[in-house]
Amino acid sequence: MKFFGKVLLTLLLILLLALVAIYVLLQTQWGAGWISRQVSAGSDYQLSLRKMEHNFSDPSHLLLNDVSFGRKDQPATLVAKRINLGLSLLQFSSLLHFASIRLDQGMLNLSDKSAPLSLQADRLQLSQMALNRNQGDWPLQAERVDGSVAPWKPEAGIVLGKEANFQMSAGSLTLDGIPAANVLVQGSIHGPQLVLSNFGADVALGSVSASAQRDAQGWQVNSLRLNSIRLQSDKTLAGFLQPLRTLPTMNFDRIDMTDARLQGQDWAVTDLNLTLKDLTLSNGDWQSNGGSLSMNASSFVNGSMQLDDPIANMDFSVQGVQLTQFSSRWVNGLVRAQGSWTRSDKKLTLDKLVVAGLEYTLPLNWRERWMETLPSWLDSVQVTKFSASRNLIIDINPDFPFQITALDGNGSNLLMARNHQWGIWSGNLSFNAAAATFNRVDLRHPSITLSADDNAINVSEMSAFSADGMLEGLATLSQQPQRTVSLTLNGSKVNATLLQNWGWPTIPLNGNATMQLKMQGSLQASQPLKPSVNATLAVSNGEQSVQQTLRCGQLGWLTID
């Protein structure tokens, strides 16, 4: 018996020595190389390991130094200066489940498409790591990342697992091309629900903070605060806002923006303050029931339009938008409006529209803009009450320049657009001014009064003083596509050549005269007026009378002594 005991003891000692030798060898560079070669040769993964360490003073932890790990023929998934594996008794039943995994000073490439490792941990910790995610809709690059995930049980397409609490901070981060610094994220995952209980970052020289959650229906943003944002973009305003149409469903409880400055291609807004409540964006549209928007800025520029000190307040409902206040300084004047937009008929109704003190030079293509089709969300524009005062309107088009000084006006029940097309489709409108110049013809106190319905625009009064005389007229413009126009213009003690600067052929008379012009033509869209004109003009200076007839551009005339 003693002999067998000695043999057994000797075998145990040899086994112990072998284990000790293996333990020591595995902690050498040779042992680390041997482990790397075994893993690389026996699996689809490539492992590079410089050294493995274990200390009996801290027996529950295994240290791996200078690690590179990833799938063969692909960039490394993980590179780390040190990996600290926390061991537990669970290792005996689940070899790749660790009490903790700590990654120090390295890089982690994330991919939702690749199958996850079987590694799991009660806690995953990151220290001064870099994270990269170049695939999917939200590419991500982050530097100097510290944080933890508990527990960490990754699955295919779910890097953090289905049930986890997480906390991360990053020195710098770029998400879908948007850079940020000093980022902090805290939250949890519960099945399909992602909760961001706290998010904060320095973005575009300002700061952003938010709390939100996401589930199968979309995002619920409880709060979003943006302070002192200074953002520059190379996109037009439409291109800058385009991502709002492609976002997943987003429910916003509240958005606050203060002191923001945004600039893009041919547009800018300065000192923007904004509060948005209870709004949902989904499938390129919005919905709200009891939401609101309040905003103001120092200036807003879009192309040639510049608004100074704009203020807008509106309420949202299922039916549409109630514009409770809009005001802005524009071209040295003031614009004020209030009204509503209804979703069912896409109609904008302005209960009140006031323009005062404008000094506005019309763009050279203002006629083309007038003919443009309105966007799909705006079918018609109704102005219940309109008033204008002390406005200066200038057109520098060399073909027919004009200037109207101290222009006042008022209107009621004006239908300014229908079927996505500008016009004066119904209502009453009148204007008067202190003075005007139409293509080098000076007029004093010009005025016009008109009414419109489905059939025609009727000018019931049109008058102006010219030199020592006066002009008066009536006109009718059809609302049909041919846009037939008829005009009667009477002049008393006016210059006999007055109409020449307005396109009428030369008149062989001088001095003051009385005249009567009767004209018919067509203002059909995209067609010149002159070839359609049929008109007669009778002019008399007391000594000589001339009658001219213009038929489709062909002139005939008769002189009576």
Q: Do 329 and 300 contact (CB within 8 A), yes or no?
A: no
Would you say 463 and 470 are in contact if contact means Cβ atoms under 8 Å apart? Answer: yes
62: tokens are 């295994």
216 or 115: whose pLDDT is higher? Answer: 216
Q: What is the pLDDT of residue 1?
A: 54
Structure tokens belonging to residue 43: 């699996």
For 333-357, the DSSP string reads EEEEEEEEEETTTTEEEEEEEEEES
The Cβ-side half-sphere exposure at 457, using a 13 Å CA radius, reads: 22
What's the chain's Rg over C-alpha atoms? 39
CA dist 54 and 321 (Å) reads 68
**pTM of the shown model:** 0.83
Q: What is the pLDDT of residues 133-179, one digit of tens each?
A: 876 666 889 999 999 999 988 887 777 888 999 999 999 998 877 88
Helices 2-26 and 29-41 cross at an angle (nearest 10°) of 90
Fill in the DSSP letter of residue 419.
T
Per-residue pLDDT tens over the stretch 235-249: 999 999 888 888 889
Q: pLDDT at residue 25 above 60?
A: no
d(CA 412, CA 221): 43
Identify the burial level of 3 via C-beta atoms within 10 angstroms of its C-beta, where 0-12 means exposed, 13-18 middle and 19 or more buried. Answer: exposed
Greatest distance between any 2 Cα atoms in the chain: 159
At CA 137, angle to CA 133 and CA 142, rounded to 5? Answer: 30
- Measured on CA atoms in the order 342, 347, 351, 354, is the torsion positive or negative? positive
225's CB contacts (< 8 A; 6+ apart) are 207, 208, 209, 210, 255, 256, 257
Residues β-bridged to residue 167 = 148, 186
- 320-330 and 333-342 strand pairing: antiparallel
- Residues 6 or more apart in contact with residue 191 via CB below 8 angstroms: 162, 163
pLDDT of 42 > 90? The answer is no
Does the pLDDT value for residue 94 go beyond 80? no
- pLDDT tens per residue across span 256-310: 999 999 999 999 999 999 999 999 999 888 999 999 999 999 999 998 899 999 9
pLDDT tens string 467-526: 889 999 999 999 998 899 999 999 999 998 899 888 888 888 888 999 999 999 988 877
User: Can you give the pLDDT at residue 561?
Assistant: 39
Instruction: Using alpha carbons, list the distances in angstroms from residue 217 to 248, 250, 284.
Output: 9, 9, 15
